[in-house]
A = this chain, B = another copy of it.
């Protein structure tokens, strides 16, 4: 059974799957009283459509090694998760497309001060986190069906982050 190792989350490595949201290359705001990152990500809602912003709380800690056989994607919108305190989490993704290629599934671990925005259509697992951790969730609003799942022929195993 294939065991997926996690790699550090960087903007470059994650680019095929989505954007990293973090403090960074910055611009002044409010006459220098704030600095801000610049265009870390743009929400992509199709067709042009509002996004909702909500708080999510993890109720069940994921135990490593973590075995999974289902991935999901959102065909109508990007989906962002940003931690509401400083903690590390793991992101598991595969390139968009009608089917999931199990050999292309890969995993990233954040540095504790990073969020992510999945591109519209990127395959990913449900969130992997620890009970009590909270994320801001920014996704397409409304009730329209916007989640597809694929079950893998064989489960994959995710190694614990180092």
Contact = CB atoms under 8 A, between A and B. Distances in A.
Nearest to A32: B59
Contact of A59 (B35, B40, B42, B54): B35
Contacts of A37: 54-56
Contacts of A60: 32-33
B36 A42 contact: no
Interface in A15-57: 21-24, 26, 29-45, 47-57
A155 to B, nearest CB: 16
Interface string A71-101: 0000000001011111000000000000000
In this complex, the interface size class of chain A, counting residues with CB under 8 Å from chain B, is: 35 or more
A9 to B, nearest CB: 15
Contact of A137 (B36, B50, B83, B117): B36
A151 B84 CA distance: 34
A134 B51 contact: no
A133 to B, nearest CB: 9
Q: Which 5 A-B pairs have the closest CB atoms?
A: A48-B48, A30-B126, A36-B56, A23-B55, A33-B60
15 contacts: A30-B127, A33-B60, A33-B126, A34-B56, A36-B56, A36-B137, A39-B141, A40-B54, A40-B55, A41-B52, A42-B50, A42-B52, A82-B84, A83-B84, A115-B136
